[in-house]
Structure 1
């Protein structure tokens, strides 16, 4: 299933538990993910405009799990 992003403003801190967990993942793992991405692709950012998000339900050891895939264009940092 592909999801199209709807942009809206969320309260801070997030009041919805699902949204709060996404913020928690980014706050906890974001710096490490950034370091690994920079090692793999060079200094830059992933586009949030030219991005696809895929959500799948997977079974692992008899339990349902959620698998999220963020597929975004890599944009190298440029000097102006």
Structure 2
């Protein structure tokens, strides 16, 4: 019996197959009927896919059942510490370091004592044209969870 493929190994195969076939993340998300950010995160190992989603992705990318099996596994969520040095990822950490305390204050002022859920959560990304250079618009949409005593 072979061990189940690690999610990071399945992700590497997905990325390679996607690039070699010239497919966008959006095209793959359309194939499985899920939001593009969620789909991309799932294919990179951060969410479990359903059996149907994993099968459809593997059919599209011509990947075998070992990859599909891995895509269905419950993940150990979080980023490899080496990835946090990537400039794009680091900028998100920097933005939260600078604006996180202000966002916390504003959430408490608007909603009361609580937090934004990262479980009951949606995230979106969009491009907005701007005369000084296109803008990246990232939207976090999390359910407010109040602290109950």
TM-score range, shorter chain: 0.7 to 0.9
Q: Greater relative contact order: 1 or 2 (C-alpha under 8 angstroms, separation 6 or more)? A: 1
1:42 to 96, 112, 115: 112
Change over 3 Å in CA distance of 1:71–1:14 after alignment to 2: same
Shift in Å at residue 72 of structure 1? 0.5
- Return 5+ residue gaps in structure 2 as ranges: 1-25, 27-34, 47-76
TM-score of the pair, normalised by structure 2: 0.49
Which one has a bigger Cα radius of gyration? 2
CA separation in 1, counterparts of 2:144 and 2:132?
36
Q: Which residue of 2 aligns with 1:55?
A: 125
CA change 1:30–1:73 in 2 (3 A) is same
- Between the two proteins, the alignment pairs up a number of residues equal to 79
Q: Give secondary structure in 1 for the equivalent of 2:85.
A: coil
> What RMSD over aligned residues (CA atoms) do the two structures have, in Å?
1.9
Structure 1 spans left out of the alignment, 5+ residues: none
Query: Going by fraction, where is helix more abundant, 1 or 2?
Result: 2
Moved over 6 A (4+): none
Bigger fraction of residues in strand: 1
TM-score by length of 1: 0.86
